[in-house]
Structure 1
Amino acid sequence: MHHDLLALSSSWNLSQTNRSTRVPLVSLEEALERSSLKKGISRRDFLAALLKDVQHQRLLPLLAMLPRRWRQEPASLPEHLRGLGILLGEGLMSPLLLAAFADDLQHLLPQRTNPRRSALDLWCQRNYNDPGGQQWPLPEGLDTWKSQATASLYPQNQHSAPNSRTGLAGLSSLGGEIAWSNHGLSYLQSAEARHRNQQMAQVFNVLGSNLLGGQSLNLDTYRFEGQSCGKDLIQCLQSKGWTCQARVRTSVASFGLGASTPSSDSNQWAQIPLAVPYRTGLQETNQKEINALLPHACLELELQPPEDETVLLQYYQGTEGLNGWAAMNDLDRPWQNGRSNGSVQYSPTVFRDQQLSDAIELCELMGAIHNSEASMENLHLGGYGAIGFCIDSTALLEYALTGQTNLFPLTLGGLWRERLSAKLDHLLEESMRPNEDAVDRYKGALENMPQDLYHTSVTRNDAKRRLLASQPSYSPFLLIQDLNRQKS
């Protein structure tokens, strides 16, 4: 294996079937080396400048993405993150470290003296910001939903990425060598469709919040098209000719970070694929530990109107500070989110009809439990990590629906499973009335879903199966290509 765990295949672009969509790629290590050489400064000084250039909330994923000899250089980190920075600098993330970090994050970070909006506030809010940052009231029917999306259109090209420009003006402090966004890429959907996704995600969140009852939240029951829960809304849309389905998906996680660098052709940008390599705690037949790339997991909900762009939503426990639905408003990164090229991996089951109703009810129940726990206990990032990363929340859902999961690594700890179970019992005592089948399924998943901190001869084979099932089948990363050879 190449010493750089994020090394790229030189033949990736040549294997693209449609040559018009070819995107030049450069590895993060190559871009970092090239940039520091051009600036003529030490790696240490360059790294300090780089970390100043990226918002502090994004530092940890970025630190984990850096090649090892870059991570080992001392750098300017916020004081409360220095210990973790040293840990990350010496080695790779592992499921064990992820679990410890998730649990300790609630104690490592300083107590919030002025908490921002809680997970419940975010889940229940009756307005939302469109992709351009303008605030809108949440619509109560399809007509308003469409008209608000049309009214939000901005003057620039509907498909263009924000701040997309050729030339070097206005780039980062790295002398125009690395931009922390994917310059030169377009969005997969129009601005209007992205606004509709944004609205519909919050519609499903607020319909879910009806489960908690108006009296506890001091809110009236919210209805969309006259429906007061997500399951009924799906049935209403189907009666109007919509096609509705959901699938569990994984892709390579980049934690919302993008990066690009000007290529030798001044009119084009080379893209820098980002990912977090990690130690799996599992062993190859030659007794070497298997390395992989951390996946982003979610339930992808695809709502297809009779004559319009698809509405694309995703459910997961997110860094946004809540457990719930978000718009899937992606840039077209064919190495990371091609829904048909294999860079996105889908679990075998497609949820439709009754199974889709069951999935929506579980998402609402989980939103009520997880967001209540995060809000009542004042958890950082809405409990992200402690009460599950995106992988754990999606795996809980998949396990509750199918009796197994295809996701890895699962790090939701025993203590937090107990606390979520206790929160469910408390909410049931407080008059929450969910579907009883959803309650039983959720409790069973909490109790029986695997955990990837330690494995025995009984659990190891299934863990390896889930590991390989969670990685893309098509990728420019040599690490994933190597894993796929093991799979075959």
Structure 2
Amino acid sequence: MEHDLLALSSSWNLSQSAHVRLISLEEALERGSLKKGISRRDFLALILHDIQHQRLLPLLAMLPRRWRQEPASLPEQLRGLGLLLGEGLISPLLLAAFADDLQHLLPPSKSPSRSALDRWCQRSCNDPGRSPWSLPDGLDTWKSQAAAFLQSQTKPSQAKPRLGLAAVTSLGGEIAWCNQGLSYLQSIEARHRNQQMAQVFNVLGSNVLGSHLPDQQGGNVEIYQFEGQSCGKDLIHCLQAKGWTCQARVRTSVASFGLGASAPSADDKHWDQIPLAVPYRTGLQEIDQTEIHALLPHACLEMELQPPEGEAVLLQYYQGTEGLNGWAAMNDLDRPWQNGRSNGTVRYGPTVFRDQQLSDAIDLCELMGAIHNSEASMENLHLGGYGAIGFCIDSTALLEQALTGRTNLFPLTLGGLWRERLRAQLHHLLEQNMQPNDDAVDRYKRALEEMPQDVYHNSETRKDAKRRLLASQPTQSPFLLIQHLNLKGRQPNCVQVHDKLQQQPYGETPH
């Protein structure tokens, strides 16, 4: 039954996450008076009041079926898609259709935000509620800005707003659409450094465009330098010469699209955390001819820059809902059921990129940023082209394919039409005298041709798709669905994975 797809293991609270108690979304929705008569329309209206429409669709996919939307509750352009989500699960085919049609479904913005290219090239960082910080030009300025930011935090941090149903206490049920009661994995100062360094790498990447950098004042844009370096791989070499350890890995985890949820415990003394995930139909069959279900992954290239002393700089590269293709800070709350870097809830690819491989990865990230952000800006694509020119998993898989000749990610939905447009954008930029690394250009072209697509499979592609499906799921998880998948991956006669894969366990299941 669909409502069981997000069921949690009762043993997880005892063995994996003793300091954070987990409850299912189904259980949270059933608490208090919600089960006594609040209608779906009222329920969704409360969510719509506090959550932006662009974040609503992932949430609708997470809700148990009987708590999902009525079509009239959504913007007119999205009612049909909302109806699909309300009646069933998403699939790679539906994701691909959504990605292709999103640019036509949504009306033009009345107050268009900055383009993807502007965001990528922006030479400042914005902290919520504060004036923009100019990008530093070196490590000393970078450190001093982070220290100054820390000193500016004179007021105690305010509790996060309790959104959605949390205000409707008269109904006796509360859900806060954020993770109340959790701390961040890194300090305030480290998170500020992460944010600054992510944009440093973005702007260094934008130097590849040279004189074609966007400039709102109409003048010439000077090449940006950090520590005297004008491209990302040279900065990596500079950091290594100063004793830093630098590496990157392809990473997947259960996607929550930036959403969190929590509910007060029965005794109101602490917060119970609600793991969120998007279950989907994979389009692949088990041997008993039932369709395999999985949880939609978030994918990125995680880069870890460890200085000789102090906290590591943690960055991630992907195509995001933030409106650009590029680097972002990995400033995560401590969600041990979702982003534990050592407990199996984060799945890492087999290759650790260091030295020359890391240089190659940085070159490709810069080339892809130039191509994807230029395409999104020139065509005025919504959300910086998110979906149309790839979801996070497509951009990461394209990078992995270019670097290693194969990818371990699933599902991939980047369509043939958009691949052609990205290829055409590459040639356009080369004609405009963009001067990227030639090897990166060749790798990118091959990856566009060879990267799989998971909308349709035949007998030749199905085995590899199942391999990638299992490789994209965590090895440890409180979700019983993940545990089921891992068990299937270890049983040769249950899921038709090729022979070598059948003999390699994908991690132990929590007891």
TM-score band by shorter chain is over 0.9
> In the aligned structure 2, how far is the partner of 1:383 from the partner of 1:117?
13
Q: Tell me which residue corresponds to 1:93.
A: 90
Alignment of 1:316-327 (within 5 A): 316-327=318-329
Q: Tell me which residue corresponds to 2:468.
A: 466
How far apart are residue 55 of structure 1 and its match? 1.9
Decide whether the 8 Å contact of 2:163 with 2:176 is kept in 1.
no
> In the aligned structure 1, how far is the partner of 2:271 from the partner of 2:316?
29
Q: Pick the aligned partner of 1:66 from 52, 63, 67.
A: 63
> In the aligned structure 1, how far is the partner of 2:388 from the partner of 2:163?
41
Q: Pick the aligned partner of 2:73 from 63, 76, 84.
A: 76
> In the aligned structure 1, how far is the partner of 2:331 from the partner of 2:202?
17
Alignment of 1:3-82 (within 5 A): 3-16=3-16, 19=18, 22-37=19-34, 40-71=37-68, 73=70, 76-82=73-79
Decide whether the 8 Å contact of 1:36 with 1:42 is kept in 2.
no
> In the aligned structure 1, how far is the partner of 2:406 from the partner of 2:206?
27
Decide whether the 8 Å contact of 2:20 with 2:272 is kept in 1.
yes
Decide whether the 8 Å contact of 2:46 with 2:164 is kept in 1.
no
> In the aligned structure 1, how far is the partner of 2:168 from the partner of 2:258?
20
Decide whether the 8 Å contact of 2:206 with 2:213 is kept in 1.
no
Closer/same/farther in 2, CA of residues 54 and 174 from structure 1, 3 Å limit: farther
Alpha-carbon displacement from aligned partner over 1:219-257 (angstroms, at most 9, x marks no partner): 110000000000000000000000000000000000000
| Farther off after superposition, 223-232 or 134-143 | 134-143
Cα-Cα RMSD:
1.9
> In the aligned structure 2, how far is the partner of 1:72 from the partner of 1:193?
40
How far apart are residue 72 of structure 1 and its match? 5.8
Q: Tell me which residue corresponds to 1:438.
A: 440
How far apart are residue 286 of structure 1 and its match? 0.9
How far apart are residue 131 of structure 1 and its match? 6.0
Identity of aligned residues (%): 80
| Farther off after superposition, 25-34 or 320-329 | 25-34
> In the aligned structure 1, how far is the partner of 2:77 from the partner of 2:38?
27
**Aligned residue type for 2:359:** S
1:309 aligns with 2:311: yes
Q: Tell me the secondary structure at the aligned position of residue 26 of structure 1.
A: coil
**Aligned residue type for 1:191:** I
1:206 aligns with 2:203: yes
Structure 1: segments with no counterpart, 5+ residues: none
1:172 aligns with 2:166: yes
Q: Tell me which residue corresponds to 2:141.
A: 144
Q: Pick the aligned partner of 1:342 from 344, 349, 352.
A: 344
Q: Tell me which residue corresponds to 2:262.
A: 260
> In the aligned structure 2, how far is the partner of 1:195 from the partner of 1:72?
38
**Aligned residue type for 1:4:** D
Q: Tell me the secondary structure at the aligned position of residue 172 of structure 1.
A: helix
Q: Tell me which residue corresponds to 1:128.
A: 125
- What TM-score, normalized by structure 1, do the two folds share? 0.95
How far apart are residue 487 of structure 1 and its match? 1.3
Alpha-carbon displacement from aligned partner over 1:76-109 (angstroms, at most 9, x marks no partner): 2222221111111111000000000000000000
> In the aligned structure 1, how far is the partner of 2:439 from the partner of 2:119?
27
Structure 2: segments with no counterpart, 5+ residues: 215-219, 491-511
Alpha-carbon displacement from aligned partner over 1:445-482 (angstroms, at most 9, x marks no partner): 00010000000010000000000000000100011110
Q: Tell me which residue corresponds to 2:495.
A: none
Closer/same/farther in 2, CA of residues 134 and 189 from structure 1, 3 Å limit: farther
**Aligned residue type for 2:159:** N
Closer/same/farther in 2, CA of residues 268 and 156 from structure 1, 3 Å limit: farther
Decide whether the 8 Å contact of 1:4 with 1:29 is kept in 2.
no
Q: Tell me which residue corresponds to 1:221.
A: 223
**Aligned residue type for 1:304:** Q
| Farther off after superposition, 36-45 or 431-440 | 36-45
Alpha-carbon displacement from aligned partner over 1:344-398 (angstroms, at most 9, x marks no partner): 0000100000000000000000000000000000000000000000000000000
> In the aligned structure 2, how far is the partner of 1:391 from the partner of 1:278?
15
Decide whether the 8 Å contact of 1:24 with 1:270 is kept in 2.
yes
Closer/same/farther in 2, CA of residues 427 and 169 from structure 1, 3 Å limit: closer
| Farther off after superposition, 340-349 or 176-185 | 176-185
Q: Pick the aligned partner of 1:429 from 428, 431, 446.
A: 431
Alpha-carbon displacement from aligned partner over 1:288-332 (angstroms, at most 9, x marks no partner): 000100000000000000001000000000000000000000000
1:187 aligns with 2:184: yes
Q: Tell me which residue corresponds to 1:246.
A: 248
> In the aligned structure 2, how far is the partner of 1:169 from the partner of 1:279?
30
Q: Pick the aligned partner of 2:400 from 398, 403, 409.
A: 398
Decide whether the 8 Å contact of 2:41 with 2:73 is kept in 1.
no
Q: Tell me which residue corresponds to 1:102.
A: 99
Closer/same/farther in 2, CA of residues 37 and 215 from structure 1, 3 Å limit: closer
Closer/same/farther in 2, CA of residues 256 and 35 from structure 1, 3 Å limit: farther
**Aligned residue type for 2:177:** W
| Farther off after superposition, 62-71 or 305-314 | 62-71
| Farther off after superposition, 187-196 or 109-118 | 109-118
> In the aligned structure 2, how far is the partner of 1:35 from the partner of 1:420?
51
1:155 aligns with 2:149: no
Q: Tell me the secondary structure at the aligned position of residue 327 of structure 2.
A: strand
How far apart are residue 24 of structure 1 and its match? 0.7
Q: Tell me which residue corresponds to 1:484.
A: 486
| Farther off after superposition, 263-272 or 287-296 | 263-272
Decide whether the 8 Å contact of 1:124 with 1:205 is kept in 2.
yes
Closer/same/farther in 2, CA of residues 132 and 474 from structure 1, 3 Å limit: farther
> In the aligned structure 2, how far is the partner of 1:238 from the partner of 1:391?
29
Q: Pick the aligned partner of 1:230 from 232, 237, 245.
A: 232
> In the aligned structure 1, how far is the partner of 2:70 from the partner of 2:97?
24
Q: Tell me which residue corresponds to 1:384.
A: 386
> How many residue pairs end up in the alignment?
480
> In the aligned structure 1, how far is the partner of 2:77 from the partner of 2:242?
53
> In the aligned structure 1, how far is the partner of 2:396 from the partner of 2:133?
29
How far apart are residue 35 of structure 1 and its match? 4.8
> In the aligned structure 2, how far is the partner of 1:36 from the partner of 1:202?
46
How far apart are residue 47 of structure 1 and its match? 2.9
1:358 aligns with 2:360: yes
| Farther off after superposition, 256-265 or 34-43 | 34-43
> In the aligned structure 1, how far is the partner of 2:319 from the partner of 2:196?
19
**Aligned residue type for 2:147:** T
Q: Tell me which residue corresponds to 1:370.
A: 372
Q: Tell me which residue corresponds to 2:497.
A: none
Decide whether the 8 Å contact of 2:315 with 2:327 is kept in 1.
yes
Alpha-carbon displacement from aligned partner over 1:154-173 (angstroms, at most 9, x marks no partner): 1367xx7x6259xx899833
